[in-house]
Chain A
Amino acid sequence: MSDGFVLHFGGFALVAATVVAVYGAIGGFFGAWKEREGLARSAYNAAIAATCLSVTTLIALAVLFLRHDYRFAYVWQNSNNDMPPWYLVSAIWGGMDGSMLLWGVMLSAYSGLALASCTSKKLRPWLTSILCVSTASFLLIVTLSTNPFRLVPTLIMPTNGNGLNPLLQNPSMLIHPICLYLGFTGFVIPFAYCMAALLSGDLSGQWIQLARRWTLVAWGFLTVGIILGGHWAYIELGWGGFWAWDPVENASFLPWLTATAFLHSVIVQERRNMLRIWNVSLCALTYILTVFGTFLTRSGIVQSVHAFAEGNVGQWLLTYIVFITLLTIVTIAYRYRELRSPESLESYFSREAAFLFNNLVLLGICFATFWGVMFPVFSEALGYEKSVVGPPFFNQVNGPLFLVLIALMGYGPLISWKRNSWQNFAKLVWRPLLAGSAVTVLFLGIDGTRIIAAVSFGLFVFVLGTIMGEFHRAARIRRELSQGEGALQSLVSVVRRKPERYGGYIVHLGVVFMAVGITASTIYKIEKDFVLKLGQPAELGGYSLELMSLQEEQFKNYAALRAVVQVRDAASRQILGELHPEQRFYPASQQTTTEVDTRATPWQDLYIALGGIDPELKETGAAFKVFINPLQFWVWVGGMIMLGGTLVLVVSAFRMRQVVRESVVTSSVVRA
Chain B
Amino acid sequence: MKNTRLFLAIGVVGSLISVLVYMAATSTAQAVVTVEQLVREATSRQKVRLGARVTEDAINYQTEPEFKLTFSVQDIIPKEQAAEPLDLKKLNLKKLEVVYAGIRPDTFQPNRDVILEGYFDGKTFTATSLLTQCPSKYEVPLPQD
A140-158, CB < 8 A from B: 152-156, 158
Residues of A within 8 A of B6 (CB): 344-345, 356
A529 touching B67 in the complex, CB below 8 Å, given contacts A388-B30, A594-B106: yes
Chain A nearest CB, measured from B62 CB (Å): 8
Determine the distance from Cα of A357 to Cα of B16 in the docked complex, in whole angstroms: 13
Residues of A within 8 A of B2 (CB): 344
Determine the distance from Cα of A357 to Cα of B117 in the docked complex, in whole angstroms: 37
B84 lies within 8 A of chain A by Cβ:
no
Chain B nearest CB, measured from A265 CB (Å): 12
B59-109, CB < 8 A from A: 61, 63-64, 67, 102-107
Q: Are A589 and B135 in contact (CB under 8 A)?
A: yes
B58 lies within 8 A of chain A by Cβ:
no
A385 touching B143 in the complex, CB below 8 Å, given contacts A360-B10, A397-B24, A612-B106: no
B12-66, CB < 8 A from A: 13-14, 17, 20-21, 24-25, 27-32, 49, 51, 61, 63-64
Q: Are B29 and A387 in contact (CB under 8 A)?
A: yes
Q: Are A158 and B143 in contact (CB under 8 A)?
A: yes
Q: Are A368 and B20 in contact (CB under 8 A)?
A: yes
Q: Are A303 and B51 in contact (CB under 8 A)?
A: yes
Chain A nearest CB, measured from B78 CB (Å): 12
B95-145, CB < 8 A from A: 102-107, 115, 117, 131, 133-135, 137-138, 140, 142-145
Residues of B within 8 A of A392 (CB): 24, 28
A375 lies within 8 A of chain B by Cβ:
yes
Determine the distance from Cα of A9 to Cα of B117 in the docked complex, in whole angstroms: 50
Q: Are A356 and B32 in contact (CB under 8 A)?
A: no
Residues of A within 8 A of B29 (CB): 375, 379, 387-389, 393
Contact of A360 among B13, B32, B103, B144 (CB under 8 A): B13
How many residues of A sit at the interface, in one of the four size bands? 35 or more
Q: Are B104 and A612 in contact (CB under 8 A)?
A: yes
Residues of A within 8 A of B138 (CB): 77, 95-96, 308, 310
Determine the distance from Cα of A305 to Cα of B133 in the docked complex, in whole angstroms: 7
Residues of A within 8 A of B30 (CB): 387-390
Determine the distance from Cα of A73 to Cα of B64 in the docked complex, in whole angstroms: 48
Determine the distance from Cα of A51 to Cα of B63 in the docked complex, in whole angstroms: 58
A152 touching B3 in the complex, CB below 8 Å, given contacts A386-B31, A531-B63: no
Residues of A within 8 A of B106 (CB): 583, 592-594, 611-612
A364 touching B17 in the complex, CB below 8 Å, given contacts A155-B145, A356-B9, A592-B106: yes
Residues of B within 8 A of A117 (CB): none
A623 lies within 8 A of chain B by Cβ:
yes
In chain B, what residue has the closest Cβ to A591?
B134
Determine the distance from Cα of A625 to Cα of B103 in the docked complex, in whole angstroms: 8
Determine the distance from Cα of A286 to Cα of B145 in the docked complex, in whole angstroms: 48
In chain B, what residue has the closest Cβ to A73?
B142
Residues of B within 8 A of A539 (CB): none
Chain A nearest CB, measured from B102 CB (Å): 6
In chain B, what residue has the closest Cβ to A347?
B5
Chain B nearest CB, measured from A351 CB (Å): 14
A401 touching B143 in the complex, CB below 8 Å, given contacts A360-B9, A375-B29, A623-B63: no
Chain A nearest CB, measured from B101 CB (Å): 9
Contact of A77 among B64, B135, B140 (CB under 8 A): B140
In chain B, what residue has the closest Cβ to A94?
B137
Chain A nearest CB, measured from B73 CB (Å): 16
A246-278, CB < 8 A from B: none
Chain B nearest CB, measured from A413 CB (Å): 20
A372-393, CB < 8 A from B: 372, 375-376, 379, 385-390, 392-393
Chain A nearest CB, measured from B25 CB (Å): 6
Residues of A within 8 A of B117 (CB): 390
Determine the distance from Cα of A375 to Cα of B25 in the docked complex, in whole angstroms: 9
A367 lies within 8 A of chain B by Cβ:
yes
A614 lies within 8 A of chain B by Cβ:
yes
Determine the distance from Cα of A616 to Cα of B64 in the docked complex, in whole angstroms: 11
Residues of A within 8 A of B142 (CB): 73, 76-77, 152-154
Determine the distance from Cα of A566 to Cα of B143 in the docked complex, in whole angstroms: 48
Determine the distance from Cα of A376 to Cα of B115 in the docked complex, in whole angstroms: 15
Residues of B within 8 A of A106 (CB): none
Contact of A393 among B3, B28, B31 (CB under 8 A): B28
Determine the distance from Cα of A617 to Cα of B67 in the docked complex, in whole angstroms: 14
Determine the distance from Cα of A165 to Cα of B51 in the docked complex, in whole angstroms: 23
Q: Are B102 and A165 in contact (CB under 8 A)?
A: no
Determine the distance from Cα of A623 to Cα of B63 in the docked complex, in whole angstroms: 8
Determine the distance from Cα of A387 to Cα of B145 in the docked complex, in whole angstroms: 45
Chain B nearest CB, measured from A466 CB (Å): 22
Residues of B within 8 A of A156 (CB): 145
Determine the distance from Cα of A128 to Cα of B6 in the docked complex, in whole angstroms: 35
Determine the distance from Cα of A419 to Cα of B2 in the docked complex, in whole angstroms: 17
Q: Are A368 and B21 in contact (CB under 8 A)?
A: yes
Determine the distance from Cα of A357 to Cα of B6 in the docked complex, in whole angstroms: 10
A558-589, CB < 8 A from B: 583, 589
Q: Are B28 and A623 in contact (CB under 8 A)?
A: no
Q: Are A389 and B3 in contact (CB under 8 A)?
A: no
Residues of B within 8 A of A345 (CB): 3, 5-6, 9
Chain A nearest CB, measured from B70 CB (Å): 15
Determine the distance from Cα of A550 to Cα of B64 in the docked complex, in whole angstroms: 19
Residues of A within 8 A of B24 (CB): 368, 389, 392-393, 396-397
Determine the distance from Cα of A135 to Cα of B79 in the docked complex, in whole angstroms: 34
A353 lies within 8 A of chain B by Cβ:
yes
Residues of A within 8 A of B67 (CB): 529, 623
Residues of B within 8 A of A591 (CB): 107, 134-135
Q: Are B5 and A344 in contact (CB under 8 A)?
A: yes
Determine the distance from Cα of A410 to Cα of B17 in the docked complex, in whole angstroms: 21
Determine the distance from Cα of A590 to Cα of B6 in the docked complex, in whole angstroms: 58
A357 touching B9 in the complex, CB below 8 Å, given contacts A154-B145, A375-B29: yes
In chain B, what residue has the closest Cβ to A610?
B106
**Extra A-B contacts (6), CB below 8 Å, given A387-B32, A396-B20:** A353-B9, A357-B13, A360-B9, A367-B17, A385-B31, A611-B106
A interface residue numbers (CB < 8 A to B): 73, 76-77, 95-96, 152-156, 158, 162, 165, 167, 303, 305, 308, 310, 344-346, 348, 353, 356-357, 360-361, 364, 367-368, 371-372, 375-376, 379, 385-390, 392-393, 396-397, 400-401, 529, 531, 583, 589-594, 611-612, 614-617, 623, 625
| 26 A–B contacts from the bound complex (CB under 8 Å) | A77-B138, A95-B137, A153-B145, A155-B145, A308-B137, A344-B3, A345-B5, A345-B9, A348-B9, A357-B13, A360-B13, A364-B17, A367-B21, A371-B21, A386-B32, A388-B32, A392-B24, A401-B20, A529-B67, A590-B135, A592-B106, A611-B104, A612-B105, A616-B63, A623-B104, A625-B103
- 9 closest Cβ pairs, A-B complex: A592-B106, A611-B103, A364-B17, A396-B24, A360-B13, A393-B28, A345-B5, A392-B28, A387-B29
